[in-house]
Amino acid sequence: MMPMANFPPPDGSTEPHEPRDEAGRPPSGVEQSDLELVRRVQKGERGAFDLLVLRYQHKVIKLVARLLRDPAEAEDVAQEAFVKAYRALGSFRGDSAFYTWLYRIAVNTARNTMASRHRRPLDYEADLSESEQSVVESRMRHGDTPEAVALTDEIHRTVNDAIGALPEDLRTAILLREVEGLSYEEIAEAMDCPVGTVRSRIFRAREAIDRNLKPLLD
């Protein structure tokens, strides 16, 4: 995938430019932290934002695609999220991690896209049940057998379908936790809700996934 264009283009064009240091050389050496790159952008160095885009564009596109359930428009929505992030970067103080702040913008942009197109998440009502994790581990113990391979593929499909059928708030929470690896506190910040709400959403999402897996594991 080609890198996204610089944000915003200095002269209205979409031609990317090579990030340079103060001496006009491409950056080298130890990879700079997100906060260091943010500070460079805040000082007017557009190329530093290109590095942040390169660092996070694949994660943001993947997250947005899962939220929208429409990979075809994920790049456009991700591009919009990065543009919003660039415009708001002057107010970023570093109180939170940059990626958490960026994910919040991406989640909100995806939500706005769904709302503007009158999409409604599927109705969801989970029956709470015990986790089937121990059963999965037992079935997967001999993972090189044809039966185990087939079961693994079916489990992956079932999990993906179950996540796709979740309401938007549960789907976002479980993806940020299980796919992006964010902590409960980081998810709460990204979703602008209390940590307790995050825990409840993730619990309900996991229970729904378990319920869909149960027929495969009985």
Proportion of the chain above pLDDT 90, given as a percent: 35
Output the CA angle 185-188-192, nearest 5 degrees. Answer: 145
CATH 1.10.10.10 location in the chain: 133-217
Q: Contact, 109 vs 84, CB < 8 A?
A: yes
Q: Contact, 49 vs 41, CB < 8 A?
A: yes
CATH 1.10.1740.10 location in the chain: 1-119
Q: Contact, 16 vs 5, CB < 8 A?
A: yes
Each residue's pLDDT tens digit, 121-177: 333 333 323 344 444 445 445 555 555 556 567 777 888 888 888 898 999 999 898
Q: Which tokens go with 105?
A: 């913008």
Q: Which tokens go with 122?
A: 């599927």
Estimate to the nearest angstrom the gap between the alpha carbon of 40 and the chain centroid: 25
Q: What is the pLDDT of residue 135?
A: 46
Q: Does this model's pTM top 0.85?
A: no
For the stretch 98-129, what's the b/e string if a residue is b when 16 or more beta carbons lie within 10 angstroms of its beta carbon? bbbbbbbbbbebbbebbeeeeeeeeeeebeee
Each residue's pLDDT tens digit, 24-71: 444 444 468 999 999 999 999 989 999 999 999 999 998 998 888 878
Q: Which CATH number fits domain 1-119: 2.10.260.10, 3.40.50.970, 3.30.1330.80, 1.10.1740.10?
A: 1.10.1740.10
CATH-assigned architecture of domain 133-217: Orthogonal Bundle (1.10)
Q: What is the CA radius of gyration of the chain?
A: 20
The C-alpha atoms of residue 89 and residue 133 are separated, in whole angstroms, by: 42
